[in-house]
A and B are shown apart, each in its own frame.
Chain A
Amino acid sequence: MKPRSIGAAFTAALLACMAMLAQAGQTARDQELLDREMALAAQLRCVVCQNQTVAESRAPMAEDMRREIRNQLEQGHSNEQVINFFEQRYGSFVRYNPPWKPSTWLLWSSPFLAALGGFVLLRRTLRQRSMPDEPLTAQQRDRARQWLDTTSKEERQ
């Protein structure tokens, strides 16, 4: 083989490698966008079928929202920008994972408050139960003895 043809073959091989690398880079980028798209879609509520995420729903509205997510990611928007886009239009309700802010403080803290209330109630009940009974007064003692005597007499008869 002549040196020139070796050079040409080498260049061709190099170009082929570069093309493959570029393609691999392209698919890796596509895969990354797709992953982000699905992650975002799983965080957003489908506003038509409200108990499904945008990722699960097959409603046309959810398809539109997925397409919009895709477009925005391709334009280089960040995940927060995409979530904000939908929140501005549909309100906080569109987020499956509501942010911690004054209007959601009660929402986030209510399970902990309920558990705390339960513990307080439990402790109070247990303490009341374990408290020793007050000693009876002489009068109460007499009445108790009377009752006990009458029942034991009835039993004897």
Chain B
Amino acid sequence: MRFVLPLAIFLGLAIMLGLGLQRDPRALPSALLEQPAPAIDRPLLEDQQQVLHLQDLRGRAWLLNVWASWCAPCRQELPVLAELSKRDAVAVYGLNYKDQPDKARALLRVAGNPYRASAIDGDGRVGMDFGIQGVPETFVIDSQGRVRYRHVGPVTAEIWRDRLLPVIRSLQ
């Protein structure tokens, strides 16, 4: 009986710390979950005369992928995203974060272009509205324009299959 209490306290602490170690402290839940996605209203990389309006995308679920040509994981992510979004018929839009449009366009030509369109966020202000911590990040946005999921880091085939696609399918 004397040892039951210390043992219980030790086991409780060990379990809690063990669970804490499993978690990735960088993977914060988005503060925007279930909230309307912030306005983008920035010119498109493909045609600077046009602007990306979220209202135009209402009616179906889509992905917003934050990327930049200076970000190495984005280079690996682009072809994966291009192939999988085409295979599963998912609309992907890009937010080109703090980048030079020339370099961004050049990268899309080389690495593959998964985007219907990419908005230019030269000063990173739109990224801040989305609460991004870095690039790449991917948001699932539903037909009502609300943020439903956020993935921090590059999208791989596994992430696509296990995390993003189930959320998108559940919204369709």
Contacts and interface: CB of A to CB of B under 8 A. Distances in A.
Q: How large is the interface on A (under 10, 10 to 19, 20 to 34, 35 or more residues)?
A: 10 to 19
A50 B128 CA distance: 16
Interface in B126-172: 128-131, 133-134
B103 to A, nearest CB: 17
Given A88-B31, A89-B128, 9 more contacts: A47-B131, A48-B134, A50-B26, A60-B98, A87-B31, A89-B130, A90-B131, A91-B28, A91-B30
Contacts of B25: 50
18 contacts: A47-B28, A47-B131, A48-B133, A48-B134, A50-B25, A50-B26, A60-B98, A64-B128, A65-B128, A68-B125, A89-B31, A89-B129, A90-B131, A91-B29, A91-B30, A91-B31, A91-B131, A93-B28
Interface string B1-40: 0000000000000000000000001101111100000000
B73 interface: no
Interface string B82-126: 000000000000000010000000000000000000000001110
Interface string B21-62: 000011011111000000000000000000000000000000
Interface string A101-135: 00000000000000000000000000000000000
B21 to A, nearest CB: 16
A90 to B, nearest CB: 5
A61 interface: yes
Nearest to B129: A89
A61 B132 CA distance: 9
B134 A90 contact: no
Contacts of B32: 89
Contacts of A89: 31-32, 128-131
A70 to B, nearest CB: 13
A55 B146 CA distance: 32
